[in-house]
Amino acid sequence: MNEERVVLLDPEGHAIGSAAKLSAHHADTPYHLAFSSYIVNAAGQVLITRRAAGKKTFPGVLTNSCCGHPAPGEGLEEAVVRRVRTELGITLREVTVILPRFSYRAVADDGTVEHELCPVVRATASGDDFSLNADEVSMAAWLSWDECRKLVGHSDSSPWFRLQMEQLECLGDPSRWPEAPESSLPPALTRQSARPLEHPLTG
């Protein structure tokens, strides 16, 4: 089995190498590329998840729909589709970049650090059904946007979710969030225009 790797970045978001994902996350985690997704259904609800208790970083926290790391040479849309299918068994119709340069550093209770340049995307689901990968996700539920906003005050919500919501709340209804221009993405990423995903990856 090929070991999953993350893309390492300089402060401006250029790729400078890669590292094994598991061994790269520690008390001095290097700056690396990631993404956060907010999956929206036809009713305008957002899928909120709880990370599995066995996750190395921030186990058991409530958070947005799905997070992941683009592999070296992998596009953002491709990475989102792959990871959403792996964790949630969901087929996506569209992926749209909303916060292209979101970046954060957070320290977990055990001292493990996340340090990511993490574009935030809205992903449109083809339906409401999901199938959880128990190694990754322990719970998922479709919530209204008002319910999502209330989760910010929960002590067990993830730090990146709270920071992202500071920027997303002012954008209003998730189905109407404005798309960010392609030119605003980090240099380490290239992006295809948001479009129907006719052949989604199976992970």
Provide the annotated active-site residues. Answer: 67, 116
Q: How many CA atoms lie within 13 A of 159 on its CB side?
A: 15
Dihedral (CA of 127, 131, 135, 138) sign: positive
Q: What is 61-85 written as a DSSP string?
A: -EE-SEEE-PPTT--HHHHHHHHHH
Phi, psi angle pair for 128, to nearest 5°: -95, -10
Local structure of 31: helix, strand or coil: coil
Length of the chain as a residue count: 203
Burial class (CB in 10 A: 0-12, 13-18, 19+), 187: exposed
Alpha carbon distance 23, 119 (integer Å): 22
